[in-house]
């Protein structure tokens, strides 16, 4: 690669480099600063995300490639980067008061959030398998550490170890699939793999199966979903919120780009597989969530069910590419606000050394904290898919894509699952508004997390009524990647 191309490519990946640079500065600053310097580190992380978000905006209108075509910097990657950056911003703001309560070190935490987000951004742009795997590991290793970040909790350490082991296994499966595809095609670039695809070569079929298994693990879909409840329950609640929106969105970004660009010749085959996976994922997730006594674990199974809903859009893209892909993008965008908000309320209500995570912990919340109770109710209604919330509009778009593409049975099963999910989401509201208090809620006001929860609540309601340009951006992002299929 010539020097001019190297400098140009480095300039083009400014958003990713910004997060990496700020993360490294935080790591360097931590041992140099005195205890209690978390305030400055917090604002460093916020500024880094803000600058990265600003630099990312230009990608919506300009399509570029970097590092000899290894990365595609287009509207598709820009849309997913927006989701990742919003998720990171929300996780950091909601963690400002949570970290001192749990006696966790802020500096390393903020740096790991930034590093993980940069890996997600590389994933969304990857056009060949080595860049894909690099971004995959940057994201994954950071999240492994974050899962076990609370060294004072046995559950958190267990979650980190468990996620490391099963995540490492999934990475090995994915890498083995990549090796088989490289052996069959002689290339790691997605477009070259597509142009030389030979369906008679068994290495292609086995390689696609392994790659698909790696993706299914990362999105937490059936049958590779068993790690989700344990890891989500054990990780610090703000980390769980970040993982549930960021890691899931990154996996879907990769799934769409790889399947539709590299393996479009066998769309009918893997579409049928994902059709089955979608049904089983949403059904198993919803039925398992009903039996949970922990809100945190219930939201983990809820996350599995939502992966099944999103897969409807991926399946629908087989017949209606623009509508299917744009519905997936918008659903993940909407999911960021409502799910991060739900976990944010649990973080806000946590006490020193103990997280708020059971239904009983929320009993009678409306009497002591009516505004927090209102916010939690809004997030539960949005996760259910009821109007006038962004969750209703997102679910409507995914179901519309499925119906338009002719998958009536799949959508019918999804509607039934939505009705089932109403039971456990509304159960939270019952405990908040119709049960007596089981304990005392902290009277301490936490301004930064309170502002974050207020913003998440307003966006969840406002965009449910006035989607404005957010849906148009999803269509623009889908169009930018469709031109390359």
Please report which confidence band the pLDDT of residue 121 belongs to, taking 50, 70 and 90 as the band edges.
very high
In this predicted structure, the answer to whether residue 57 has a pLDDT above a threshold of 60 is yes
Q: Is the pLDDT of residue 485 over 60?
A: no
DSSP letter, residue 224: S
Domain ranges of the chain: 3-482
CB 84 within 8 A of CB 16: no
- 304, 140, 312: which is closest to 224 by C-alpha? 304
Give the pLDDT confidence of 258-303 residue by residue, as tens digits: 888 888 777 777 888 899 999 999 999 999 999 888 898 999 999 9
Dist CA 194 CA 180 (whole Å): 14
- pLDDT at res. 38: 67
pLDDT > 70 in the chain, percent:
96
Q: Are 87 and 217 in contact (CB under 8 A)?
A: no
Residue pointed to by tokens 């998720």: 87
Chain-centre distance of CA 110, in angstroms?
A: 17
Highest mean pLDDT among 23-32, 142-151, 210-219, 407-416: 407-416
Beta strands in 86-207 (DSSP E): none
How many CB atoms within 10 Å of residue 152?
10
Helix or strand holding residue 464 (H, E): helix 447-465
pLDDT at 386 over 60: yes
pTM: 0.93
Q: Give CA–CA dist 328/30, Å, rounded.
A: 39
Q: Label the pairing between strands 64-66 and 71-73.
A: antiparallel
Give me the percent of the chain exceeding a pLDDT of 90: 43
pLDDT at 136 over 80: yes
Query: What is the overall mean pLDDT for the chain?
Result: 87
- Across the chain, how many H-helices and E-strands are there? 21, 2
When pLDDT is averaged across residues 178-193 and rounded to a whole number, the result is: 87
Higher pLDDT, 39 or 86: 86
Place of tokens 């997030």: 379
Peptide bond into 388 cis (omega under 30): yes
| 331, 394 contact by CB (below 8 A) | yes
**280 with 379: CB under 8 angstroms?**
no
User: What is the C-alpha to C-alpha distance for residues 177 and 210, in angstroms, rounded to an integer?
Assistant: 5
Encode pLDDT of 416-456 as tens digits: 999 999 999 999 999 988 887 766 766 676 788 889 999 99
Closest C-alpha among 345, 419, 332, 411 to residue 377: 345
Largest CA distance in the chain: 69
Overall residue count recorded for the chain in this entry: 485
- Token pair for residue 216? 């299914």
Q: Can you name the residues that pair with 66 across neighbouring β-strands?
A: 71
Contacting residues for 65 by C-beta, under 8 A, at least 6 apart: 71, 72, 73, 127
Q: Which residues of 345-378 are buried (b: 16+ CB within 10 A; e: fewer)?
A: bbbbbbeeeebbbbbbbbbbbbeebeebbebbbb
pLDDT tens for each residue of 215-272: 898 888 888 888 888 899 888 999 999 999 999 999 999 889 888 888 877 777 788 8
pLDDT attached to residue 299: 92
Residue 1: pLDDT over 60:
no
CA distances from 326 to 253, 254, 277, 391 (A): 11, 15, 20, 15
pLDDT band at 343 (very low <50, low <70, confident <90, very high): very high
Judged against a pLDDT cut of 80, whether residue 344 lies above it is answered with yes
Token pair listed for 324:
């299917």
Q: Which one of 193-202, 355-364, 404-413 scores highest in mean pLDDT?
A: 404-413
The C-alpha atoms of residue 337 and residue 128 are separated, in whole angstroms, by 31
Report the SS3 class of residue 35: coil
Instruction: Please name every residue paired with 128 in a beta bridge, in sequence order, or none if there are none.
Output: 189
């Amino acid at each position: 690669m010539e020097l001019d191309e190297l400098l140009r490519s480095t300039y083009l990946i400014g958003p990713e480099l910004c997060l990496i640079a700020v993360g490294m500065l935080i790591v360097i600053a931590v041992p140099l600063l005195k205890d209690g310097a978390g305030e400055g580190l917090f604002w460093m992380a916020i500024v880094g995300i803000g600058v990265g978000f600003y630099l990312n905006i230009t990608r919506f209108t300009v399509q570029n490639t970097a590092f000899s075509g290894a990365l595609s910097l287009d509207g598709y990657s820009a849309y997913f980067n927006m989701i990742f950056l919003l998720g990171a911003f929300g996780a950091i703001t909601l963690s400002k008061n949570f970290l001192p309560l749990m006696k966790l070190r802020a500096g390393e935490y903020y740096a790991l959030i930034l590093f993980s987000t940069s890996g997600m951004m590389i994933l969304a742009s990857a056009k060949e398998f080595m860049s894909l795997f690099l971004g995959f590991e940057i994201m994954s290793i950071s999240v492994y550490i974050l899962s076990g970040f609370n060294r004072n909790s046995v559950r958190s350490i267990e979650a980190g170890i468990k996620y490391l082991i099963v995540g490492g296994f999934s990475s090995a499966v994915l890498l083995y699939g990549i090796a088989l595809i490289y052996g069959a095609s002689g290339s790691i670039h997605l477009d070259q793999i597509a142009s030389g695809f030979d369906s008679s070569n068994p290495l292609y079929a086995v390689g696609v199966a392994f790659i698909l298994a790696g993706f299914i693990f990362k999105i937490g879909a059936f049958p590779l979903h068993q790690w989700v409840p344990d890891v989500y329950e054990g990780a610090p609640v703000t980390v769980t919120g970040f993982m549930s929106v960021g890691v899931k969105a990154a996996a879907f970004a990769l799934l769409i780009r790889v399947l539709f660009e590299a393996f479009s010749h066998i769309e009918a085959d893997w579409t049928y597989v994902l059709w089955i996976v979608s049904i089983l994922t949403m059904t198993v997730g919803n039925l398992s969530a009903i039996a949970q006594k922990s809100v945190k674990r219930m939201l983990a199974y809820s996350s599995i069910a939502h992966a099944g809903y999103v897969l409807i859009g991926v399946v629908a893209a087989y017949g209606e590419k623009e509508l299917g892909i744009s519905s997936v993008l918008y659903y993940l965008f909407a999911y960021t606000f409502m799910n991060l908000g739900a976990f944010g309320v649990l973080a806000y209500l946590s006490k020193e050394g103990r997280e708020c995570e059971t239904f009983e912990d929320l009993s009678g919340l409306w009497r002591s904290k009516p505004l927090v109770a209102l916010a939690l109710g809004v997030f539960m209604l949005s996760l259910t898919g009821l109007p006038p919330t962004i969750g209703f509009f997102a679910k409507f778009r995914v179901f519309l894509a499925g119906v338009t593409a002719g998958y009536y049975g799949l959508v019918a099963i999804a509607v039934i699952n939505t009705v089932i999910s109403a039971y456990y989401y509304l159960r939270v509201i019952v405990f908040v508004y119709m049960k007596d208090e089981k304990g005392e809620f902290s009277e301490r006001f936490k301004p930064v997390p309170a502002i974050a929860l207020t913003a998440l609540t307003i966006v969840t309601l406002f965009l449910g009524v006035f989607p404005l340009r957010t849906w148009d951006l999803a269509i623009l992002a889908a169009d930018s990647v469709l031109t390359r299929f």
